[in-house]
Structure formats: structure tokens, C-alpha cells
Amino acid sequence: MKKKYFHNEIILNRGDELNELCLVDSGKAVVVNPLDSKIMRVLHAGDTIGVDHALKKQKLPHLTVAQGESVISRVELVEYVEALSNAPDVTKDLINQLLKD
């Protein structure tokens, strides 16, 4: 599913529990610490949002906000995991990244 967001519109809220992969299709978004409003990360087309938290079944500790007009795709986590099962190299890289965090 794709959804268009406008400038300063909240994409994901602190405390959200994800059961889907969120991908920035176009535009830009920022990950913000809601406690001090510091920008923690800038996301561009091709970047994912919250994958590690979704796979670990953790609530999001931050806020994700659109910067300008942005389009975000959402893929159910089950579908994402099924796709990974057909790409062992990608799966290995993802697991290694999750273990580092």
C-alpha cells in the first residue's frame, strides 16, 4: 500500500508497533527524538523505516515525519519475511545488521 504524506505530517509515531515494512518511495522524511526534537536520521527514497523494531517486535522510540511531499510504501512483515526466504544473501546481511544493533 502506498500513501502520500505532506510536509510535517507524521508517518510513524513514538510507541507505534509495526507489523509492516515502511519504505520511502519518494521525497524525504526525518526520524526525530520526540523528547528533544533532535533529528536523528534523514531518510531518502529507498530507505526503510523501523525494520529492526518490527522484526524485534519493539515499539518505536522515535517519531518519523515527512519533509515536503513524500510517498511511503508499506509491506506486511509476513510478506517481507517470505520474500527474504528467497534471498539468502540479503537475509544473512539483515541478520548480521540486527545483531550489531
**β-sheet bridge partners, residue 23:** 48, 73
Q: How far apart are CA 58 and CA 73, in angstroms?
A: 20
State the distance between the two ends of the chain, measured CA to CA, in whole angstroms.
Answer: 28
Query: Global pTM?
Result: 0.76
CA distances from 90 to 30, 80, 85 (A): 25, 12, 9
Which residues in the chain land under pLDDT 70? 80-81, 83-84, 87-88, 90-101
> Which grid coordinates are listed for 53?
523494531
Residue 58 CB partners (closer than 8 Å, separation 6+): 52
Whole-number pLDDT of residue 19: 82
pLDDT of residue 99: 60
What's the pLDDT score for residue 98? 59
Q: Which pLDDT belongs to residue 58?
A: 87
Residue 49 is predicted with a pLDDT of: 87
Query: Would you kindly state where each structural domain of the chain is located, as residue ranges?
Result: 2-76
Check if CATH label 3.20.19.10 holds for domain 2-76.
no
